[in-house]
């Protein structure tokens, strides 16, 4: 049994080692390399050196063992430069010249850059040259940045154009600052390192019924300032602390500290009406709540109620409409002029035009007559 375990363990170790071996020793003409081994595992690296007159065909002279072989393929040639991949640019007539690669030393090709990128001299066209160390310029296309937001800026006074890697110092007018604390912004491959514009700072606010927990100024955009309500005061949600945020137009989320006794409870309910505002747990002084009546009911009085020193103002009323059913009209032998509805609704104050049904006549000398709806009540005419 012990012998069987040893055999299985030996086979497993041999298999595991075999799994680590991924690359055979490379064959690189016109060079020598280190370290030399009988086999190489994943991730292991070699360094190769080309003999005089030959150059590595890729940038650098190292290659790494991968599951697909050596990467990049190690080889030495008389022509050291492979086809250039120009980031943010394009080789002139590249399909025509692709067969020219690898390129020899001192061979050059024209290229251009994409929009918002320029060649190092600043021209639309430039040339890239093969050297023994690879292509030059190493960064063929540089980002172009323009500083032209001069509002609230003291220096520089005029528009500035910068290339990738260059920086500019911006001095804002008093009361303004860059978004980030530093005064320099840099042109990077993706544009400005931070927004190059001067924004208004937030001064220490004047608190009412509260005090700042941490003081300091100036405050920049998105800076926060914590506050504490004074004793006996609290926010709408019952908390006694909160945070303010410095926005472009000044402080956001200003303190709302009020005495508990000054807050109002739920707003008064009204018959046949509803509150249109979202209900809250508590209402601060000055809060307003809007009402609306149900269908056919008429709102009388102010549309809003206001919280003041713990009390709500007088709420509105919903006036009951007049409901005229077919049953009533049959009892009275009447109908509504111009209407054939089985049920009719009229708001308070509406004038209703009645007339007798066919074959009937008014108890008075008039054949048609009017009545006014008075808060759910209407004086019906009589037909015989």
pLDDT in tens, 362-371: 877 665 688 8
Whether residue 7 has pLDDT greater than 80: no
Per the CB < 8 A criterion, the answer to whether 272 and 293 are in contact is yes
Instruction: State residue 4 phi and psi, 5-degree precision.
Output: -65, -40
Count of Cβ atoms closer than 10 Å to residue 75 Cβ: 21
Taking the chain, what is the end-to-end CA distance rounded to the nearest angstrom? 120
Which pLDDT does position 66 carry in this prediction?
94
Give me the chain's average pLDDT, please: 85
Mean pLDDT for the stretch of residues 85-111: 89
33 burial type by CB count under 10 A (0-12 exposed, 13-18 middle, 19+ buried): middle
CATH of domain 144-200: 2.10.70.10
pLDDT tens digits along 285-294: 888 999 999 9
Between the alpha carbon of residue 183 and those of residues 20, 152, 176, 179, the distances in Å are 53, 14, 12, 9
Identify the CATH assignment for 210-258 out of 1.10.3720.10, 2.60.40.10, 3.40.50.720, 2.10.70.10.
2.10.70.10
At 9 the pLDDT is 43
CATH fold of the domain at 263-319: Complement Module; domain 1 (2.10.70)
Residue 210: is its pLDDT beyond 50? yes
Say if residue 81's pLDDT is above 80.
yes
Comparing 21 with 338, the larger pLDDT belongs to 338
In this structure, what DSSP letter does residue 42 have?
A: T
- Give the global pTM: 0.44
Q: How far apart are CA 156 and CA 208, in angstroms?
A: 40
Contact assessment for residue 213 and residue 230, using Cβ atoms and an 8 Å cutoff: no
Q: Is the pLDDT of residue 127 over 90?
A: yes
CATH fold of 89-140: Complement Module; domain 1 (2.10.70)
- Superfamily of the domain at 20-77: Complement Module, domain 1 (2.10.70.10)
For 229-244, write each residue's pLDDT tens digit: 998 888 877 788 888 8
Residue pointed to by tokens 């050596």:
70
Average pLDDT over residues 48-59: 81
Task: Please tell me the predicted confidence (pLDDT) of residue 185.
Answer: 92
DSSP code per residue over 89-127: EEETTHHHHGGG-SBPTT-EEEEEE-TTEE-TTS-SEEE
Band the pLDDT of 2: cuts 50, 70, 90.
Answer: very low
Q: Which residues contact 85 (CB under 8 A, 6 or more apart)?
A: none
pLDDT of residue 215: 66
What pLDDT band is residue 45 in, cutting at 50, 70 and 90?
Answer: very high
Helix count and strand count (H, E) for the chain: 3, 39
3-state secondary structure of 73: coil
Cα angle for residues 261, 267, 268 (degrees, 5° grid): 120
Residue 89 pLDDT > 80: yes
Look-up of token digits 């065909």: 57
Q: Which residues contact 378 (CB under 8 A, 6 or more apart)?
A: 322, 324, 346, 352, 371, 372
Cα(120)–Cα(165) distance, integer angstroms: 11
């Amino acid at each position: 049994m012990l012998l069987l375990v040893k055999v299985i363990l030996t086979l497993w170790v041999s298999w595991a080692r075999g799994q680590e071996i991924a690359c055979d020793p490379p064959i690189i003409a016109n060079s020598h390399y280190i370290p030399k081994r009988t086999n190489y595992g994943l991730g292991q690296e070699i360094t190769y050196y080309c003999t005089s007159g030959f150059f590595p065909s890729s940038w650098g002279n190292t290659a790494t063992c991968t599951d697909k072989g050596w990467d990049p393929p190690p080889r030495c040639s008389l022509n050291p430069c492979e086809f250039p991949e120009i980031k943010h640019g394009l080789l002139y007539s590249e399909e025509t010249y692709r067969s020219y690669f690898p390129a020899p030393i001192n061979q050059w090709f024209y290229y251009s850059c994409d929009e918002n990128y320029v060649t190092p001299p600043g021209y639309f066209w430039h040339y890239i040259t093969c050297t023994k160390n690879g292509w030059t310029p190493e960064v063929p296309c540089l980002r172009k940045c323009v500083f032209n937001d001069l509002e609230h800026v003291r220096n520089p006074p005029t528009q500035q154009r910068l290339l990738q890697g260059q920086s500019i110092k911006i001095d804002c007018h008093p009361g303004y600052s860059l978004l980030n604390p530093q005064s320099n912004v840099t042109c990077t491959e993706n544009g400005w390192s931070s927004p190059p514009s001067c924004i208004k700072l937030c001064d220490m606010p004047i608190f009412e019924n509260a005090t700042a927990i941490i003081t300091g100024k100036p405050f920049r955009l998105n800076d926060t300032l914590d506050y504490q309500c004074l004793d006996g005061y609290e926010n709408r949600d019952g908390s006694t602390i909160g945070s303010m945020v410095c926005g472009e137009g000044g402080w956001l989320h200003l303190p709302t500290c009020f005495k508990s006794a000054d807050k109002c409870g739920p707003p008064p309910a009204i018959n046949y009406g509803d509150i249109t505002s979202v209900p809250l747990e508590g209402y601060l002084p000055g809060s307003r709540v809007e009402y609306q009546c149900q269908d056919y009911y008429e709102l009388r009085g102010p549309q809003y109620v206001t919280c003041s020193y713990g009390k709500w103002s007088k709420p509105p009323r919903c006036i009951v409409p007049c409901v005229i059913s077919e049953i009533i009209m049959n009892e009275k032998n009447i109908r509504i002029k111009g209407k054939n509805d089985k049920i009719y609704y009229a708001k308070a104050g509406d004038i209703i035009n009645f007339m007798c049904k066919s074959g009937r006549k008014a108890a008075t000398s008039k054949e048609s007559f009017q009545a006014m709806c008075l808060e759910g009540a209407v004086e019906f005419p009589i037909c015989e």
